[in-house]
Protein backbone atom coordinates (compact mmCIF):
# COMPACT_ATOMS: atom_id res chain seq x y z
CA UNK A 1 0.00 0.00 0.00
CA UNK A 2 1.14 3.46 -0.72
CA UNK A 3 0.41 6.67 1.17
CA UNK A 4 -2.04 8.83 3.08
CA UNK A 5 -3.04 12.39 2.21
CA UNK A 6 -5.06 14.79 4.36
CA UNK A 7 -7.23 17.83 3.63
CA UNK A 8 -9.11 20.29 5.83
CA UNK A 9 -11.52 22.92 4.51
CA UNK A 10 -9.74 25.50 6.67
CA UNK A 11 -6.80 25.23 4.26
CA UNK A 12 -9.10 27.08 1.82
CA UNK A 13 -11.33 29.24 4.06
CA UNK A 14 -11.74 30.00 7.76
CA UNK A 15 -14.41 28.15 9.75
CA UNK A 16 -16.40 31.37 10.23
CA UNK A 17 -16.66 31.86 6.46
CA UNK A 18 -18.56 28.67 5.56
CA UNK A 19 -19.02 27.66 1.95
CA UNK A 20 -21.19 25.07 0.24
CA UNK A 21 -18.35 23.65 -1.84
CA UNK A 22 -14.67 23.48 -0.92
CA UNK A 23 -11.91 21.85 -2.95
CA UNK A 24 -8.16 21.81 -3.31
CA UNK A 25 -5.71 20.19 -5.70
CA UNK A 26 -3.26 18.00 -3.79
CA UNK A 27 -0.03 16.50 -5.07
CA UNK A 28 0.80 12.86 -4.49
CA UNK A 29 4.03 12.16 -2.56
CA UNK A 30 5.51 10.78 -5.78
CA UNK A 31 4.71 10.52 -9.47
CA UNK A 32 3.09 7.17 -10.29
CA UNK A 33 3.27 5.25 -13.55
CA UNK A 34 -0.54 5.42 -13.74
CA UNK A 35 -3.26 7.16 -11.73
CA UNK A 36 -3.62 5.56 -8.28
CA UNK A 37 -6.92 4.80 -6.57
CA UNK A 38 -8.03 7.27 -3.90
CA UNK A 39 -10.25 6.17 -1.01
CA UNK A 40 -11.70 9.03 1.05
CA UNK A 41 -13.03 9.09 4.62
CA UNK A 42 -14.30 11.90 6.87
CA UNK A 43 -12.52 12.47 10.19
CA UNK A 44 -13.67 15.85 11.47
CA UNK A 45 -16.87 17.90 11.26
CA UNK A 46 -18.14 21.25 12.54
CA UNK A 47 -21.74 21.82 11.43
CA UNK A 48 -24.57 24.15 12.41
CA UNK A 49 -27.52 22.51 14.19
CA UNK A 50 -31.16 23.32 13.41
CA UNK A 51 -31.26 21.98 9.84
CA UNK A 52 -30.50 18.67 8.19
CA UNK A 53 -26.83 17.78 8.57
CA UNK A 54 -25.37 17.13 5.13
CA UNK A 55 -21.76 16.50 4.15
CA UNK A 56 -20.09 14.81 1.21
CA UNK A 57 -16.39 14.08 0.63
CA UNK A 58 -15.04 12.82 -2.67
CA UNK A 59 -12.15 13.06 -5.12
CA UNK A 60 -11.88 13.66 -8.84
CA UNK A 61 -9.37 14.72 -11.47
CA UNK A 62 -6.98 11.95 -10.47
CA UNK A 63 -3.86 11.62 -12.61
CA UNK A 64 -0.39 10.24 -11.95
CA UNK A 65 0.73 13.30 -9.96
CA UNK A 66 -2.27 14.92 -8.25
CA UNK A 67 -5.96 14.82 -7.43
CA UNK A 68 -8.75 17.16 -6.37
CA UNK A 69 -10.17 16.73 -2.86
CA UNK A 70 -13.73 17.97 -2.26
CA UNK A 71 -15.82 18.48 0.89
CA UNK A 72 -19.30 19.85 0.21
CA UNK A 73 -22.67 20.48 1.77
CA UNK A 74 -25.95 21.50 0.15
CA UNK A 75 -29.44 22.97 0.63
CA UNK A 76 -29.72 24.91 3.94
CA UNK A 77 -26.95 23.08 5.82
CA UNK A 78 -24.02 25.08 7.18
CA UNK A 79 -20.65 23.34 7.20
CA UNK A 80 -18.13 25.41 9.15
CA UNK A 81 -15.27 22.97 8.61
CA UNK A 82 -14.49 19.34 7.90
CA UNK A 83 -11.48 17.19 7.11
CA UNK A 84 -10.65 13.94 5.37
CA UNK A 85 -7.92 11.39 5.03
CA UNK A 86 -7.32 9.88 1.61
CA UNK A 87 -5.81 6.43 1.25
CA UNK A 88 -3.71 6.43 -1.92
CA UNK A 89 -3.45 2.96 -3.45
CA UNK A 90 -0.61 2.85 -5.95
CA UNK A 91 -1.15 1.09 -9.31
CA UNK A 92 0.84 -1.96 -8.17
CA UNK A 93 -1.40 -2.61 -5.15
CA UNK A 94 -3.46 -5.16 -7.07
CA UNK A 95 -4.08 -7.30 -3.98
CA UNK A 96 -5.91 -4.41 -2.30
CA UNK A 97 -9.52 -3.88 -3.36
CA UNK A 98 -11.69 -0.85 -2.63
CA UNK A 99 -15.10 0.58 -3.34
CA UNK A 100 -18.10 2.30 -1.84
CA UNK A 101 -21.79 1.76 -1.15
CA UNK A 102 -24.56 4.33 -0.82
CA UNK A 103 -27.94 3.78 0.79
CA UNK A 104 -29.40 5.39 -2.34
CA UNK A 105 -28.36 2.25 -4.23
CA UNK A 106 -30.96 0.51 -2.06
CA UNK A 107 -33.71 3.13 -1.68
CA UNK A 108 -34.38 6.82 -2.53
CA UNK A 109 -33.28 9.45 -0.02
CA UNK A 110 -36.90 10.47 0.63
CA UNK A 111 -37.81 6.94 1.73
CA UNK A 112 -35.41 6.63 4.68
CA UNK A 113 -34.77 3.35 6.45
CA UNK A 114 -33.29 2.58 9.85
CA UNK A 115 -31.12 -0.25 8.54
CA UNK A 116 -29.61 -0.75 5.09
CA UNK A 117 -27.35 -3.59 3.98
CA UNK A 118 -25.94 -4.89 0.73
CA UNK A 119 -23.82 -7.88 -0.22
CA UNK A 120 -20.60 -6.65 -1.85
CA UNK A 121 -18.88 -9.10 -4.19
CA UNK A 122 -15.14 -8.72 -4.78
CA UNK A 123 -14.07 -8.28 -8.39
CA UNK A 124 -11.75 -11.23 -7.79
CA UNK A 125 -11.65 -13.64 -4.84
CA UNK A 126 -9.02 -13.70 -2.11
CA UNK A 127 -7.18 -16.88 -1.11
CA UNK A 128 -8.35 -16.52 2.50
CA UNK A 129 -10.94 -14.16 4.01
CA UNK A 130 -9.39 -10.67 3.86
CA UNK A 131 -9.42 -7.86 6.34
CA UNK A 132 -12.13 -5.33 5.44
CA UNK A 133 -12.57 -1.84 6.85
CA UNK A 134 -15.27 0.72 6.09
CA UNK A 135 -15.83 4.37 6.97
CA UNK A 136 -18.13 7.29 6.23
CA UNK A 137 -17.68 9.68 3.32
CA UNK A 138 -21.19 11.17 2.99
CA UNK A 139 -24.36 11.56 5.06
CA UNK A 140 -27.68 13.41 5.18
CA UNK A 141 -29.56 13.25 8.48
CA UNK A 142 -32.72 14.96 9.67
CA UNK A 143 -32.88 17.72 12.27
CA UNK A 144 -34.64 17.51 15.62
CA UNK A 145 -32.89 14.45 17.04
CA UNK A 146 -29.35 13.30 17.69
CA UNK A 147 -27.19 12.52 14.68
CA UNK A 148 -26.70 8.76 14.73
CA UNK A 149 -24.95 6.83 11.95
CA UNK A 150 -23.01 3.58 11.99
CA UNK A 151 -21.32 1.68 9.16
CA UNK A 152 -19.76 -1.75 9.55
CA UNK A 153 -19.14 -5.02 7.73
CA UNK A 154 -20.14 -8.61 8.47
CA UNK A 155 -20.00 -12.07 6.90
CA UNK A 156 -16.57 -11.58 5.31
CA UNK A 157 -15.41 -14.47 3.12
CA UNK A 158 -13.08 -14.89 0.14
CA UNK A 159 -15.76 -13.72 -2.31
CA UNK A 160 -17.18 -10.69 -0.52
CA UNK A 161 -18.86 -9.24 2.55
CA UNK A 162 -22.03 -7.54 3.74
CA UNK A 163 -21.96 -3.76 4.16
CA UNK A 164 -24.24 -2.11 6.72
CA UNK A 165 -25.25 1.55 7.11
CA UNK A 166 -27.65 2.04 10.02
CA UNK A 167 -29.21 4.56 12.34
CA UNK A 168 -31.28 4.00 15.49
CA UNK A 169 -33.74 5.55 17.96
CA UNK A 170 -35.57 8.57 16.47
CA UNK A 171 -32.90 9.68 13.97
CA UNK A 172 -33.87 10.03 10.31
CA UNK A 173 -31.06 8.98 7.99
CA UNK A 174 -31.92 10.17 4.49
CA UNK A 175 -28.72 8.87 2.93
CA UNK A 176 -25.14 7.89 3.66
CA UNK A 177 -22.17 6.50 1.76
CA UNK A 178 -19.50 4.21 3.14
CA UNK A 179 -16.13 3.56 1.49
CA UNK A 180 -14.35 0.25 2.02
CA UNK A 181 -10.91 -1.32 1.66
CA UNK A 182 -10.07 -5.05 1.62
CA UNK A 183 -6.59 -6.57 1.72
CA UNK A 184 -5.01 -10.00 2.37
CA UNK A 185 -4.98 -10.85 6.07
CA UNK A 186 -1.28 -11.80 5.86
CA UNK A 187 -0.11 -8.70 3.96
CA UNK A 188 3.15 -7.34 5.37
CA UNK A 189 3.66 -3.90 6.90
CA UNK A 190 0.02 -3.01 7.34
CA UNK A 191 -2.16 -2.96 10.44
CA UNK A 192 -5.81 -2.05 10.67
CA UNK A 193 -8.39 -1.85 13.40
CA UNK A 194 -11.46 -0.08 14.71
CA UNK A 195 -12.12 1.77 17.94
CA UNK A 196 -15.10 3.32 19.67
CA UNK A 197 -15.46 5.84 22.47
CA UNK A 198 -17.49 3.20 24.29
CA UNK A 199 -14.22 1.25 24.61
CA UNK A 200 -13.27 3.78 27.30
CA UNK A 201 -16.60 5.03 28.73
CA UNK A 202 -20.39 4.49 28.49
CA UNK A 203 -22.26 6.52 25.89
CA UNK A 204 -24.42 8.24 28.51
CA UNK A 205 -21.35 9.83 30.14
CA UNK A 206 -20.34 12.32 27.42
CA UNK A 207 -16.90 13.90 27.60
CA UNK A 208 -15.20 16.29 25.18
CA UNK A 209 -11.93 14.36 25.05
CA UNK A 210 -11.58 10.60 24.59
CA UNK A 211 -8.46 8.58 23.82
CA UNK A 212 -6.81 5.19 24.18
CA UNK A 213 -3.44 3.60 23.42
CA UNK A 214 -3.47 0.80 20.83
CA UNK A 215 -0.78 -1.82 20.15
CA UNK A 216 -0.10 -3.10 16.64
CA UNK A 217 -0.02 -6.63 18.11
CA UNK A 218 1.62 -9.06 15.67
CA UNK A 219 2.20 -6.52 12.90
CA UNK A 220 5.86 -5.54 12.63
CA UNK A 221 7.06 -2.19 11.33
CA UNK A 222 10.71 -1.27 10.81
CA UNK A 223 9.96 2.45 10.65
CA UNK A 224 7.24 4.72 11.98
CA UNK A 225 4.12 4.00 9.91
CA UNK A 226 1.78 6.46 8.26
CA UNK A 227 -1.76 6.34 9.62
CA UNK A 228 -5.16 6.78 8.00
CA UNK A 229 -8.16 7.46 10.25
CA UNK A 230 -11.82 7.99 9.37
CA UNK A 231 -15.13 7.94 11.21
CA UNK A 232 -17.29 4.82 11.06
CA UNK A 233 -19.95 5.93 13.55
CA UNK A 234 -21.36 9.12 15.07
CA UNK A 235 -23.78 9.69 17.95
CA UNK A 236 -23.92 13.41 18.76
CA UNK A 237 -26.66 15.58 20.22
CA UNK A 238 -28.06 18.22 17.87
CA UNK A 239 -29.08 20.53 20.71
CA UNK A 240 -25.90 22.38 19.73
CA UNK A 241 -23.56 22.30 16.74
CA UNK A 242 -22.14 18.96 15.66
CA UNK A 243 -18.42 19.05 16.37
CA UNK A 244 -16.08 16.07 16.27
CA UNK A 245 -12.45 15.48 15.44
CA UNK A 246 -10.81 12.05 15.16
CA UNK A 247 -7.06 11.63 14.83
CA UNK A 248 -4.07 9.54 15.90
CA UNK A 249 -0.82 10.59 17.54
CA UNK A 250 2.06 9.06 19.51
CA UNK A 251 2.63 6.85 16.46
CA UNK A 252 5.57 4.46 16.80
CA UNK A 253 6.55 1.11 15.30
CA UNK A 254 4.62 -0.54 18.14
CA UNK A 255 1.35 1.35 18.34
CA UNK A 256 -0.55 4.64 18.47
CA UNK A 257 -3.03 6.68 20.47
CA UNK A 258 -6.45 7.37 19.00
CA UNK A 259 -8.45 10.47 19.89
CA UNK A 260 -12.11 11.35 19.34
CA UNK A 261 -12.85 14.83 20.65
CA UNK A 262 -15.52 17.51 20.60
CA UNK A 263 -15.32 21.11 21.78
CA UNK A 264 -17.37 24.11 22.92
CA UNK A 265 -20.87 23.00 24.07
CA UNK A 266 -21.23 19.90 21.86
CA UNK A 267 -22.47 16.75 23.57
CA UNK A 268 -20.59 13.78 22.10
CA UNK A 269 -22.37 10.59 23.13
CA UNK A 270 -20.11 8.27 21.16
CA UNK A 271 -18.21 7.84 17.92
CA UNK A 272 -16.11 5.21 16.19
CA UNK A 273 -13.15 5.16 13.82
CA UNK A 274 -11.45 2.87 11.35
CA UNK A 275 -7.65 3.06 11.30
CA UNK A 276 -4.97 1.79 8.92
CA UNK A 277 -1.22 1.98 9.60
CA UNK A 278 1.09 1.64 6.60
CA UNK A 279 4.80 0.82 6.87
Q: How confident is the model at residue 246 (pLDDT cuts 50, 70, 90)?
A: very high
Q: Is residue 8 part of a domain?
A: no
Q: What is the pLDDT of residue 1?
A: 58
**Which secondary structure element, helix H or strand E, spans residue 223, and what is its range?**
none
Residue 257 predicted with pLDDT over 90: yes
Cα 6 to Cα 269: distance, rounded to the nearest angstrom: 26
Which residues, 6 or more positions from 243, have their beta carbon under 8 angstroms from its beta carbon? Answer: 45, 46, 47, 236, 262, 263, 264, 266, 268
Classify residue 107: in a domain, yes or no: no
Indicate if the pLDDT at residue 102 is higher than 70. yes
Residue 7 has pLDDT above 90, yes or no: yes
The answer to whether residue 58 is domain-embedded is: no
pLDDT tens track for 123-139:
999 999 999 999 999 99
What local confidence, expressed as pLDDT, does residue 140 receive?
A: 98
249 within a domain of the structure (yes/no): yes
CB atoms within 10 A of CB 94: 9
Look at residue 264 and tell me if it is in a domain.
yes
Q: Is residue 152 part of a domain?
A: no
d(CA 273, CA 196): 6
Per-residue model confidence as pLDDT tens digits over 186-217:
999 999 999 999 999 999 999 999 999 999 98
Task: Write down the pLDDT at residue 146.
Answer: 95
CATH classification of the domain holding 195: 2.60.40.2080
Number of domains in the chain: 1
Are residues 193 and 218 in contact, defined by beta-carbon separation less than 8 angstroms? no
The answer to the question of residue 82 being in a domain is no
* Residue 156 located in a structural domain: no
pLDDT given for residue 144 in this prediction: 87
Which range of residues forms the domain containing residue 217?
188-279
Global pTM value = 0.97
Amino acid sequence: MSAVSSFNTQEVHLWNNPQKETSKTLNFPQKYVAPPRCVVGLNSLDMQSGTNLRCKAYDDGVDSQRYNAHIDTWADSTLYSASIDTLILKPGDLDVLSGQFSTEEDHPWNQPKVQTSRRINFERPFVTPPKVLCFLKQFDTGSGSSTRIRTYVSDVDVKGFTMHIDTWADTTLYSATSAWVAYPEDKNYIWSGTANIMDVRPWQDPRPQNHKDINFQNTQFFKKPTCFVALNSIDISTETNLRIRAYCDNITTGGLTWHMDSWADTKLWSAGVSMIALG
